[in-house]
Chain A
Amino acid sequence: MASIRPRSLPFRALRAPTALRPTCRLHITPRSTVQQKSQFTRNHSTSSVSADEVSHFSKLASEWWDPMGHSRVLHLMNPLRHEFIAQCLAEGPPPADALSPGSKPANLHYLDIGCGGGIFAESLARTIPLDPAADAPTPTRAASMTAIDPTTALITIAKNHARMDPTVDSHLRSGKFRYLNTTLEDVLASEVESPSESSVTHPQYDVVSLFEVIEHIDFKTTTPEAFLANCLRGVKPGGWLVGSTIARTLPSFILNQVIAEAPWPIGVVPRGTHEWNKFVNPSELHAWSQEALIRAADTAVTRAGAAALEGSQWKCVGTIYVPGLGWKIVPGSEDWGNYFWAIKRGV
């Protein structure tokens, strides 16, 4: 059922993740493709960012926050991301919790990689309490949010939208919520002003999120293991890397390629929307994550071994889009289509 949308939606309200495929044929007039291209072809020579993807998302930008637009199903999925992170934190609480059991302060720092128009980043920033001493209003317990995306047009959209909510606007002004038009590699290359007791000099976060991102990474310039290792380098020991993507399996093929792309009135997305080869199976992701955990523990002079996996955790749960009911977390449906995954870094 994953990719069937309710009939009441406009024809172009595609199932969210699929709407974002680079080959997606949307009825969007490429008004300023050329200028936009020049904006984002900043040379991230070492970056994992795919130039095709960046140009694609620039075109989608104008409708990003339209509740009836092509991002609708992505908006509908967003509350489940909060629930999934809450589940992860309940199963593997951050190490600081052991020191003060019982209290649940808003003390977690978030990094959202590939934030797009800010659907997840803004919603999480909204849960940051205005009073830092106050108890966290939600189980996600956010204290700050840093959201990055390589697409300039999207960061502009995201910032403009964030200003429409006074709470989020005040977080933007206070710096608790930041939108950066940059890449993960650039974030990791930056240095923290006040280095902690550890030897890590780049910023690290309690929760790093990769929602609907991994299938857009250009694996011609990087490998999945290397990209995930980079993500994990941004995760504090004991923190979580969470994400979501789509499986490349037979049920998923039937739903996404055969049914969803069938001619009207059965199909719900235009033909060629999906780029099948970029989908990632949970088992593949799990294997990459093991390798990435080890690589992330490498230092300049030493190679980490299997000991880096100690204390790590892997979590994976499927979600299904039921027309008329919205997204539901359905454990066991990981291989059918969309799923959430998470890696906890060992302490």
Chain B
Amino acid sequence: MRSITRAAFRPYICPSCRHGIGAGRRQLRTQAAQSAEIYDVVCVGGGPAGLGLLAALRASPITSKLKVALVESQDLGKARGWNLDSSQFSNRVSSLTPSSVDFLQKIGAWEHLDTDRVQNYQEMQVWDGETGSRISFDRSSETPAFEDLQTVASMTENANLVRGLLRRIEASGDENLTLFSNHTVASIENGSDLQAEGPDLSAWPILSVKPTGPNAETLAPTRIAARLLVGADGINSPVRSFADIPTQGWDYNRHGIVATLALADLDPATLSNTRTAYQRFLPSLGGPIALLPLPNNHATLVWSTRPEHAAYLKSLPTPAFIAMVNAAFSLSMTDLSYMMGISQSSSDQTSHEDELNWRLQHTPQPSHIPPKAIGVQEGTVASFPLRFRHAAQYISPRIALVGDAAHVIHPLAGQGLNLGLADVAALSRTIEYAVSHGMDIGDLLTLERYSSERYLPNAKIGGACDLLHKMYSVTGQGPITWARSLGLEVIDRLPFVKSFLMKNAEGY
């Protein structure tokens, strides 16, 4: 909040002191600039957010003439050539809300995605493992009878999305476009005033971009100046550090386990075009388990749990892992906690399955549990730490943060990537407005349009996910358990409240 705070105190600071505040920190790094090539937008980070911004800028007739560059340390060529057999799925899958899909369609990227690998789902079943109280989401109230249900969200592999965006950018031609693939940002510093020879770039960020790889040391870095430097460079954003923007947040002390699963054949009674996403909160294990549909009767697993449980699950042999996943959707908390502790050193390899089968006979099954997992795609079981971060501000002169650089949230609602794409949509609209009104796209007055559009919605969604996580981490039958279950049941019976929540979750 540096600039805002400064503004608030301005009336109480004598004018001659005012100019020194804030300016100094960035001035210190000023060096004589060798000639740097000037770009309108330089985006650091070639993930879905960064590539989405580039694709959006290239797609709009107003901004397509801007000179843009993207710096990515990974090999974009490899991402562009990504190819996987139709029975295999990457374990990094995101649930794209309809508004994200709208955005991708609007910028012409959706048609470059392999839509055979995208799975829409029309129903969502969410229930509490402790009390069994349940809520189901679908669009049946808005869908006319005899028509297929509308999509709640579309499961898309990140690699498919990234490849689609790269294809879209490629289709826009290479005029005014530079992709620094396999390059890292070696340094960011302020430019200098070229006095008589050229413009005054003393407030412009100048990047030194260096190729990665074995002979990187021998190559001279490229220097580029950015009218607007966009940080799409993830949770440890170097752009954010350069702009001196602090972040607030905490680690959840949870890990998310992901895996690609093969499911048992669907029950013939439910054979229709409708696919369902399932999420069960497991308070005593620290977080929810979710099973999200993929094409060809596959599904992707996201299981948020304590690090020790995550380590245990990852260490299990495949049959035991499958048994644990099925158990997590069907057994009681007590049974599940017991199974999480079965010693692996026991010579009996089938113990998890035996335990599951025996316990299932004694557990009444609700109607909404997902089809059984029968297989795990090799090499897809992985885990990542869950964190919450929110940058104190998204903008600084000539700098904007998008996606994970600005906010990292709990994945329980599958909103992270959608918020990033919404940031990018808003930032590209802001740049469009600025270009058509003669504004400098790096100016704070321009960028504050972006930040005022995105800051509160992101804080709201991130805060809601955080609240859900905390409510569903409470074990036992205390007042919070009672209240959350009552709340869920009440919302499930109030269609207006439910559709309001869905609208929020879908990004509209």
Which residues of A line the B interface, CB within 8 A?
Answer: 8-13, 27-29, 31, 62, 67-69, 72, 75-76, 78-79, 82-83, 122-127, 137-138, 140, 160, 163-166, 169-170
Contact = CB atoms under 8 A, between A and B. Distances in A.
A8 B203 contact: no
A169 B200 CA distance: 9
Given A11-B11, A76-B445, A166 B38 contact: yes
Interface stretch (B85-93, B280-288, B433-441): B433-441
Given A164-B200, A165-B440, A62 B10 contact: no
A68 B438 CA distance: 19
A169 B440 contact: no
B438 A123 contact: yes
Given A79-B437, A123-B438, A68 B7 contact: yes
Given A163-B200, A164-B203, A79 B433 contact: yes
Contacts of A127: 438
Contacts of A62: 15
A283 to B, nearest CB: 30
A258 to B, nearest CB: 23
Interface in B322-379: none
Contacts of B204: 164
B272 interface: no
Contact of B65 (A8, A69, A137): A137
A124 B436 CA distance: 10
Contact of A67 (B65, B435, B443): B443
Contact of B11 (A10, A78, A164): A10
A160 B16 CA distance: 19
A124 B10 CA distance: 30
B16 A67 contact: no
B438 A124 contact: yes
Contact of B438 (A31, A67, A126, A166): A126
B437 A138 contact: yes
16 contacts: A12-B11, A67-B445, A75-B445, A79-B438, A123-B439, A123-B440, A126-B440, A137-B62, A138-B436, A138-B437, A138-B438, A160-B200, A163-B193, A163-B199, A163-B200, A166-B198
A165 B198 CA distance: 10
A76 B11 CA distance: 20
Contacts of B439: 78-79, 123, 126
Given A9-B7, A166-B38, A123 B199 contact: no
A124 B204 CA distance: 21
B16 A29 contact: yes
A77 to B, nearest CB: 11
A82 B200 CA distance: 26
Most buried by A among B8, B65, B436: B436
A29 B15 contact: yes
A9 B3 CA distance: 11
B493 interface: no
A82 B439 CA distance: 10
Nearest to B397: A67
B10 A8 contact: no
A27 to B, nearest CB: 6
Interface of B: 3-4, 6-8, 10-11, 14-16, 38, 62, 65, 193, 198-204, 227, 433, 435-440, 443-445, 448
A76 B445 CA distance: 7
A85 to B, nearest CB: 10
B227 to A, nearest CB: 8
A120 B147 CA distance: 54
B15 A68 contact: no
A68 B203 CA distance: 17
Contacts of A140: 438
A285 B198 CA distance: 43
B7 A10 contact: yes
B303 to A, nearest CB: 42
A146 to B, nearest CB: 16
Contact of A164 (B8, B199, B435): B199
B314 to A, nearest CB: 48
A27 B198 CA distance: 35
A76 B452 CA distance: 14
Contacts of B201: 164, 166
A29 B438 contact: no
Contacts of B198: 166, 169
A68 B10 contact: yes
Contacts of A28: 15
A70 B63 CA distance: 31
B435 A137 contact: yes
Nearest to B433: A79
A68 B6 contact: yes
A74 to B, nearest CB: 11
A68 B429 CA distance: 23
Nearest 5 interchain pairs by C-beta? A123-B438, A68-B7, A169-B199, A79-B437, A166-B199
B10 A12 contact: yes
B7 A82 contact: no
A86 B193 CA distance: 35
Contacts of B200: 160, 163-164, 169
Nearest to A124: B438
B450 to A, nearest CB: 14
A322 to B, nearest CB: 13
A82 B199 contact: no
Nearest to B438: A123
A125 B202 CA distance: 21
A10 B6 CA distance: 9
Nearest to B441: A126
Nearest to A172: B199
Contacts of A68: 3-4, 6-7, 10
B15 A27 contact: yes
Nearest to A68: B7
A10 B10 contact: yes
Contacts of B435: 137-138
A67 B3 CA distance: 10
Given A69-B10, A123-B439, A160-B200, 4 more contacts: A11-B11, A62-B15, A68-B10, A137-B436
Most buried by A among B38, B436, B438: B438
Contacts of A72: 445
A90 to B, nearest CB: 14
A170 B38 CA distance: 13
Contacts of B440: 123, 126, 165
Contacts of B202: 164
B274 to A, nearest CB: 42
Nearest to B7: A68
B14 A29 contact: yes
Most chain B CB atoms below 10 A, which of A10, A83, A125: A10
A28 B15 CA distance: 7
Nearest to A27: B11
A78 B3 CA distance: 21
Nearest to A170: B199
Residue among A8, A11, A166 having the largest count of chain B Cβ atoms under 10 Å = A166
B447 to A, nearest CB: 10
